Amino acid sequence: MKVITLAVFLAAAAMSGVSAPAAVLFPKPLHLIKRIDDPLAKASRVVDEYCYGDRIVSVSGPRVSIIDYAAQTVTDIDHGQGTYSITRFDEIANAHPKAAAATAKSLASNAAPAAATVKPAGMKSSAGGRSVDSYEIEAPRTKVVVGLDRSVTLSRAAVEALIGAAYPNVRRPEHDAILGVASPARSTGRIAANSSKDDAADYALPSEQAITITSDGGSVTLKTSVLRFDSDQAPQSATLIDPGATRVESPIARFAREMREADTIPVAPRQ
């Protein structure tokens, strides 16, 4: 049986992860109901993603993740277990030291990263029953099939946040390709869901994404689909840490610590 490493899956999952904006991301509330097809669990789950101000709140049953770009923290709450964790953006960035080092080396040498290739795939019907403008994006060891709902528009920074295109994640060629195809194709009938005077909403909502990461152990595909959307805000009860909840180490912080410890395990001298 082929084995997919945790590091490879984290690279795929980072595409729906976090990024760092320079201004308010969502001037108006945007609630996305998403279906996530998990290749590791071999199951699908529905997640409510509430975007407002500088926060994206993801609710999946008793588990809640709050990405706060102003505070640069990720808060994970498990109401079922009575636990929570708070992870700083710099901790998340440090969990990918090899990728960060490669990026720094590329910038220092002025070496341009390999560009992604983009192929239009035409208009298709999404999982939510809406028409999306589809593209196939090929990058080294990565393939992305993205469907754009051009009836809903966002700022560039908001789209970057939704696809995980900036700090604390490592910027990759497929991110720039997605932003390129989501860029303004001005037409009538758009809903300016998150426009503001200083940050015009010109970019299409990435409604569907299928991200395939290939490694020596095989390939893994993470698929997310927006089933529907509205302007609801996150329930306050979901975002509050329960009284008496226990603070625990976050999975990403634990993963980074274990990787550091693995690199510093002393070797016993030979007898």
CA dihedral 103, 105, 111, 117 (to 10 degrees): -20
CA distance 111 to 117: 18
Rg (CA), the chain: 19
What is the chain's mean pLDDT, rounded?
81
- Range with the lowest mean pLDDT among 36-40, 172-176, 224-228? 36-40
**For 48-82, how does the pLDDT look when each residue is reduced to its tens digit (9 = 90+)?**
999 999 999 999 999 999 999 999 999 999 999 99
What pLDDT is attached to residue 95? Answer: 78
Q: In the chain, where are the structural domains located? A: 6-257
**For 177-198, how does the pLDDT look when each residue is reduced to its tens digit (9 = 90+)?**
999 999 985 443 455 555 444 3
**For 85-100, how does the pLDDT look when each residue is reduced to its tens digit (9 = 90+)?**
999 999 888 876 554 4
pLDDT top residue among 166 and 150: 150
pTM confidence score: 0.79
DSSP string, 130-156: -EEEEEEEEETTEEEEEEEEEEEEE-H
SS3 128: coil
- Does the structure show a pLDDT above 50 at 3? no
What pLDDT is attached to residue 198? Answer: 39
Distance of CA 101 to the CA centre of its chain: 21
What pLDDT is attached to residue 59? Answer: 98
What confidence tier does 121 reach under pLDDT thresholds 50, 70, 90? Answer: very high
For the 6-257 domain, the top CATH level (class) is mainly beta
From its phi and psi, is residue 183 left (phi > 0), alpha (psi between -120 and 50) or beta? beta
Q: For residue 100, give every residue at least 6 positions away whose Cβ sits within 8 Å of its Cβ, in sequence order, or none.
A: 93, 94, 170
